A and B are shown apart, each in its own frame.
Chain A
Amino acid sequence: MSNIGSYDERVKDFSWSIAEKELGYKPGDAINIGWYCTDRICEQGKGSKVALHWEGFTGVEKTYTYNDIRLATNTIGAFLRGLGLKDGERVCLFMDRIPELYLGFLGILKIGAIAQPLFSAFGDESLFVRLSNAETSAVITQKKHAPKVRKILEKLPHIRHIIIVDHDGVVPLKDREVAFSLEKSAPVEHFDIHPTKAESASVLHYTSGTTGMPKGVKHVHYSLIAQYLTAKWALDLREDDIYWCTADPGWVTGTSYGIIAPFAIGVTQCVLDAGFSAEAWYKWIEKRRVTMWYSAPTAIRSLMKAGDEIVKKFDLSSLRHLASVGEPLNSEAVVWSQKVFGMPFYDTYWQTETGSIVIGNYPGMEVRPGSMGKPFPGITGTVLDPVKNEPLPTYGKIGLVALKFDWPSRMRTYWNNEEAFQKKFRNGWYITGDRSKIDKDGYFWFAGRDDDIINTAGHLVSPFEVESVLLEHPSVAESAVVSKPDPINLEVVKAFVTLKPGFAASKDLDLEIMNFIRKKLSPLAMPQEIEFVPSLPKTRSGKIMRRILHAKEWGEEIGDTSTLEND
């Protein structure tokens, strides 16, 4: 029997108080995610249970019990407080998937500060706009990533501390840097956890926007309620699970379902800090006897590409439930999973802004391969007519995915950008930016984005941000960035570029521009293809018409070109 039991029954009689009761929370109480993920589990007498099995790319392994992570997060919290960091300040985590990332996240929350995780592959420009917008007070990082912070430090007066967790003395500490070693620090047994309340800010994740710079999505400690219950019902996570979430905590899946929910439930988590390879992943599942596996379509398609034979080399019989998130899971992947693992991947749909799963396929419910599933109990979802902004009256018509904005883990605002937050609503509905249809049984079917945002391997990339940085390259006169189809990553970034006089298109220039974007922004934002063109399609008022270039890449109808210049 699954945790959710009958989806239909749960929908009928739902209240978020189910999670509040299970967690022992009453409205008005203090609620601190750091405490719920560590101390509470220990107080239940499970301090000696393994909380985290970690393995690095060199094969180094570390194992932490719940009591270990309680002490470690206390120790980190005490260190941060000792530096003068206080509740409400933003503390960035800029690290690979090492234990300090997971433990640092909870340590930050324990002092009431706001955790700001950033993907460690970000280049200095991406890092700068996010640290600058958040007016971040401290960055916790590794010596290998510290040079990127140093490059932009002069422009970031708010940063008081750069905490290096693996300082070895080879490169002396520089301006504002301080060393911290978790292993060499005396464990702090008793720690005064900040009494955050339901609406106290907890996490700031940055997400790309169609126009303008990335936006900081503000979440609060009460998000725990929805993250906990969705992990139990949608992911069917149970206390005795050995759980592997493949997402990096630089992104929201890696915190909501890679830190908060699993630790709050008290499961044993596994983290493999190594690049992707089918063999390494299957070996990890076999070695750790993983029972519940939460991954992403890009990874699943990469595993499909590696073939069926390699699966037979490993004992994967421990697996009992699989789920996926990040981009639409194609029906072929669901069918393949059923064939090779004996069970399907259950697709789940949500966003940085929603904080937790809002639409999904649930255990016990019929999986329709390719479908996003149905709204989580307690969540009202629909597809809106894009003109009237009202729910479409008939089934099967494509509209805007919209939600009633009333579940515990919804974002509270965009950091320093309330105006952009308000623009996410129409006629009382939160607009996700995605399009879908609903079939007669209430299943949602993804149909694409409603804007120019590129979803590559489950990560959103803003064409605007890439175009802005392209213009910083000395050869680029103008650019337009669109998505192009990709069999593994769903979409990848493609740039159309016109060159300034004196520059000629060449293979070397192509590579130089690719690397320029990769280093300034991130590998995800790097155009996988650059097409040098003599001019870009524009409206008569001079606005670049990305839509036309996008349609060509996807083999779609170009549509109305009445405003096209030189038409």
Chain B
Amino acid sequence: MADELKDIVLNYVTKEYLEDDSEPLTYDTPLISGGIVDSFSMVSLKRFLENKCAISIPDDEATPEVFDSVNKIVLLVQRFVAKKG
């Protein structure tokens, strides 16, 4: 599930936040600290994850640190999916 989710998030970020000619993302590319996703854009990324995985991520838990790479995002999502049971 984690690998599938990683690819879903990676593809989404690539499609929505990168220009066509950009260098490809990796699972560890810094998204927030690398300036690819800013704090405002994080809101739409969070909304995507919530829609896709049927979870709700409280604003307090959506920090720049946990959104800083595809790998970190997947860990966050898995935590909320597990909570949901």
Contact = CB atoms under 8 A, between A and B. Distances in A.
A60 interface: no
B3 interface: no
Nearest to B32: A275
B64 A275 contact: yes
B20 interface: yes
B44 to A, nearest CB: 5
Contacts of A275: 32-35, 37-39, 64
B35 A96 contact: yes
Given A57-B33, A144-B22, A276 B64 contact: yes
Contacts of B39: 275-276, 302, 457
Interface in B40-71: 40-41, 43-44, 47-48, 51, 64-65, 68
Given A456-B40, A510-B47, 5 more contacts: A277-B65, A457-B39, A508-B51, A515-B16, A523-B41
B21 interface: yes
A121 interface: yes
B43 A528 contact: yes
Given A57-B30, A275-B38, A277-B64, A511 B48 contact: yes
A511 B19 CA distance: 19
Contacts of B32: 275-277
Interface of B: 16, 19-23, 30, 32-35, 37-41, 43-44, 47-48, 51, 64-65, 68
A143 interface: yes
A280 B47 contact: no
A518 interface: yes
A121 B38 CA distance: 9
A519 B37 CA distance: 12
Interface string A24-49: 00000000000000000000000000
Contacts of A367: none
B65 to A, nearest CB: 6
Given A507-B51, A511-B48, A523-B38, A280 B33 contact: yes
A365 interface: no
Nearest to A121: B38
Given A511-B48, A511-B51, A526 B40 contact: yes
A422 to B, nearest CB: 34
A148 interface: yes
A147 interface: yes
Given A144-B19, A507-B51, A523 B64 contact: no
B36 to A, nearest CB: 9
Contacts of A147: 19-22
B41 A273 contact: no
Contacts of B19: 144-145, 147-148
A379 interface: no
A178 interface: no
Contact of A524 (B23, B40, B51): B40
Given A57-B30, A275-B32, A277-B33, A511 B21 contact: no
Contacts of B37: 275
Nearest to A523: B40
A147 B16 CA distance: 14
Contacts of A57: 30, 33-35
B19 to A, nearest CB: 4
A170 to B, nearest CB: 8
A358 interface: no
Contacts of B65: 277, 279
Nearest to A146: B21
Contacts of A518: 40-41, 44
A265 interface: no
Nearest to A274: B33
Interface string A92-119: 0000100000000000000000000000
